[in-house]
Amino acid sequence: MKNIVRVIAAILVLLIIVVVVKTISNKPSLQKGDVSLEELPSNAITHMSEAIQIATETPNDDYAFDTATFMAYRKFIEKNYPLITQKLPRTIIDSFNYIYEWKGTDTSLLPMVLMAHYDVVPVEASAVKLWHAKPYGGEVKENYIWGRGVLDDKSSMISILEAAEAQLAKGFTPKQTILLCFGADEESSGKGATAMVKYFKSKSQKFDLVVDEGGEISTESNPSIHNPIASIGVGEKGYVTLVLTAQKAGGHSSIPASKTAIDILSTAIAKVNQNPMPTKLTAPIKAYLESISAYNESFMQKMALSNLWLFESTVVNKLTEDPQSNALVRTTLVPTVFNSGVRDNVIPTFATAYINSRILPGQSSKDVYDYVQKTINDTNIKITYYKNYMTEPSPTTDVNSKYYKRLEKVIRNIVKDVVVAPMLMVGATDSRNYREISEGVVNFTPITDAKGYHGIDERMLVSDFQKCVNFYTLLIKGE
């Protein structure tokens, strides 16, 4: 008996030693880059301001598409980026999506794609009075450029154009062919990007690195980490909506049956709410935790993150406490629509609810369906897929790949002491389509202070704009 106690004690001591050594030896490896940023091209801010003033609002349906505005935006590009217009052949896909081709000196290399979209979400009429600048004024004040679309995603498009125009002016030719791909409907259907990828596939075109909007730089995501964290999107969650329908003979509300369609459906929704899908630590999130672990100034947190082999479930449980991080470790399920009833004195025959789900890589819409069906376990509920929009989780870009490493290097060169980490995108972007023809799709723009996405007071720091132009310049120059 004594021997067993001794053996257990020895194992415990050994375990503690391993955990502590792993924690202490996990040291930051910041490579301070050359962070002296190049000045913005002289007219860059004026161009950004003009771009905002052309209200390229995404329509709710194709018929409401404001052709004149999108044509004005095309003229704006042609006028302000004359070298791009003259020297880079443009292909127009489905009216307003553009591909500019910048031929490289080594055509044996796969091309790189720099992507952006220039449509913007509408400004709510009732919210205009809450803005501290005109939504489509393109004002520059308090070190910010203000207006709808300045972040999402004219920041990327104008920065790409500025960087390319400046390099063309210097007579630069890239080694690798570069395609500049600009979409006109990312905020609505995303059909433009789909059509562009279809066009590339028809030419059997494959790509090297593909850079689109998505990840950013955060300075406050974790109170125990004081370095800025640059999150590179390496994959996107899937999207599916299930339609739940309960049917039960209705009738007069004066003689109700024990369970109505509303009761049955409410019970089903409550069951789904009480039984979230199990957590799962996917490769990108595991790599994220490992990437940030060395910079954590709380010993306990650092110890847990440096020893995921032992503390994985504790860490994952902690992540589920916050809605944002919870969405990174599980396929989420949430009711978004609940419909039933027509009059206060009529028991309805039908009750319908939608459950929207964002699916983790490695799972599928079928897994979601099966899980919800099993959880509800009620033959009175019919479950179908909502057909309007549905997409499986995207493949993910490997954090050890040359694509990820290249982006990491560029980011470290423009942001001092930055920690670079992969991230899973919970929303969809145009770049998802490109994953079919590239293994190197990444989502990132070096924005440190993103305020007002899709909301009021959308604005961008002038210094962030400068970082964005520098970011694309380094990518174009292959540095």
Q: In the complex, which residues of this chain contact Zn ion (CB under 5 A)?
A: 152-153
Instruction: Give residue for tokens 């459906």.
Output: 265
* Between 214 and 238, CB nearer to Zn ion: 214
**Residue 214 host element (H or E):** strand 207-215
Contact 118, 420 (CB under 8 A): no
Query: Token pair of 378, please?
Result: 């009620």
As measured in angstroms, the least distance from the Cβ of 153 to Zn ion is 4
Determine the Cα–Cα distance for residues 374 and 17; give it in Å rounded to an integer. 44
Contact 386, 242 (CB under 8 A): yes
Give me the count of residues in the chain: 479
As measured in angstroms, the least distance from the Cβ of 442 to Zn ion is 15
Determine the Cα–Cα distance for residues 154 and 141; give it in Å rounded to an integer. 18
Instruction: Give residue for tokens 């440096």.
Output: 306
Q: Where are the alpha helices (DSSP H) in 35-122?
A: 44-53, 67-80, 82-87
Beta-carbon count within 10 A of 33 CB: 17
Quick one: which of 455, 430, 411 has its CA closest to 114?
430
Query: Token pair of 392, please?
Result: 């499986």
* Between 291 and 445, CB nearer to Zn ion: 445
**Residue 15 host element (H or E):** helix 2-24
Collapse the DSSP code of 281 into the 3-class scheme (helix H, G, I; strand E, B; otherwise coil) and give the result: coil
For 429, half-sphere exposure in the C-beta direction (CA atoms, 13 angstrom radius) is: 27
b/e map of 448-464 (b: 16 or more CB within 10 Å)? bbbbbeeebbbbbbbeb
* Between 116 and 304, CB nearer to Zn ion: 116
